[in-house]
Amino acid sequence: MSSSNPRSRLRDINNTGFGGNSNVEGGRLMNADGSTNLKKRGIPVWERTSIYHTLLRMPRHSFFLSIFIFYTSVNFCFAFIYMLTGIENLLGVVDAHTFADRFMEAFFFSSQTLTTVGYGRVSPSGMVTNCIASLESLMGILTFAVVTGLIYARFSRPKAYLLFSNNFLIAPYKGAKALMIRLCTYKNNNLTDVEAQFTLAIHENDNGKSITRFYPLGLEISKVSSLALSWTIVHSITEDSPVYNFTEAQISESRMELIVSIKAFDDHFSNIVQQRTSYTYRQAVYGAKFTPMFERAPDGEYTLLELDKISDYEAVVLPQVVGLV
């Protein structure tokens, strides 16, 4: 590294929650979706996994697929139980001459019992079968109460709904250079008092030991009153920047990672929302600037924000000044 590198006089931080030993890190510290790139072991999986948090965070299609699989599996289990107790104990079963026909009658009776629909054509007979049906009805009531609560929690959970650019740029800025990303909201929510925080992770060699140091990056504007359009967040690369005098090769060697944290107030939820993401050195684009992503509508009545242009940029010539080259 260059002897003029200002990191020797900058104070790194150790409150990020990540360790400083680079030798034990695997890949990036944080995934693009804001989750920590970490897996845990040492205790059984059922003890280290929160089913509630898993169901809240999983994608929508996976959530409903899980519900469908659970519902179908429970009905299959109870259908086999009804078959074991004797299909003759289900009154109203007609024209069920094959095993498949009898099983499907038991399966659909189970689904009607689990959902407490009870059409009435098939009914249980005998103490054992009635006890099984009663137990299944109770299970159905409890299960659907939980599922209803999960659907409401997923629907009402505050979320920032932020869209980030795919890359961070090294762009000209006020006669020098700056590190930039761009973001915007992609839903019809209204975010106010939006705050941004950049933390830079740099892997260094300290007396033969690979360590990770974390540096807070100063921003030209760290807070905006409203995120109505897009926001290009700028870190000016001055003598106080930890990447001052860095070459492109040094950034690759240091496996630099930019951790971005956004916090805002959502008017609709009357609650604070936040979202995180990160960029690795492989996502850096040198000598580029973002192109505009909003314009006046053709009829001149409103402003049009084109979300598919969040990552669009064009190549530019960087100024030949001291700094990142």
pLDDT score of 98: 87
Mean pLDDT of 58-71: 93
Separation between Cα atoms, residue 123 and residue 130, nearest integer Å: 9
Q: What is the pLDDT of residues 296-318, one digit of tens each?
A: 888 888 899 999 999 999 999 87
In this structure, of 70-79, 160-169, 291-300, the range with the lowest mean pLDDT score is: 291-300
Mean pLDDT of 139-156: 92
- Alpha carbon of 121 to those of 96, 108, 129, 280: distances in Å? 14, 11, 16, 63
HEC assignment per residue over 91-141: ECCCCCCCHHHHHHHHHHHHHHHHCCCCCCCCEECCHHHHHHHHHHHHHHH
In this structure, of 18-22, 41-45, 176-180, the range with the lowest mean pLDDT score is: 18-22
Closest CA to 16 of 204, 164, 212, 211: 212
Spatial contact of 1 and 250, defined as CB atoms under 8 Å apart: yes
Closest CA to 244 of 316, 321, 319: 321
**Residue 245: pLDDT band with limits 50, 70, 90:** confident
**Residue 323: pLDDT band with limits 50, 70, 90:** very low
Considering only residues 207 and 53, tell me which one the structure prediction assigns the higher pLDDT: 53
Mean pLDDT of 246-265: 85
Please, is 243 exposed, middle or buried when counting C-beta atoms within 10 Å of its C-beta (0-12, 13-18, 19+)? Answer: buried
Separation between Cα atoms, residue 92 and residue 65, nearest integer Å: 32
Q: What is the pLDDT of residues 104-126, one digit of tens each?
A: 989 999 999 999 887 888 888 88
Domains and CATH numbers, the chain: 14-38+159-315 (2.60.40.1400), 50-156 (1.10.287.70)
Tell me phi and psi for residue 207, to 5 degrees.
55, 45
Mean pLDDT of 244-259: 80
Spatial contact of 308 and 162, defined as CB atoms under 8 Å apart: no
In this structure, of 133-147, 236-250, 268-282, the range with the lowest mean pLDDT score is: 236-250
Mean pLDDT of 21-47: 81
Chain position carrying tokens 């689990």: 114
Mean pLDDT of 173-188: 91
DSSP per-residue letters across 252-265: HHTT-EEEEEEEEE
Separation between Cα atoms, residue 84 and residue 2, nearest integer Å: 78
Whether the pLDDT of residue 1 is over 50: the answer is no
- Total residues belonging to the chain: 325
pLDDT score of 8: 56
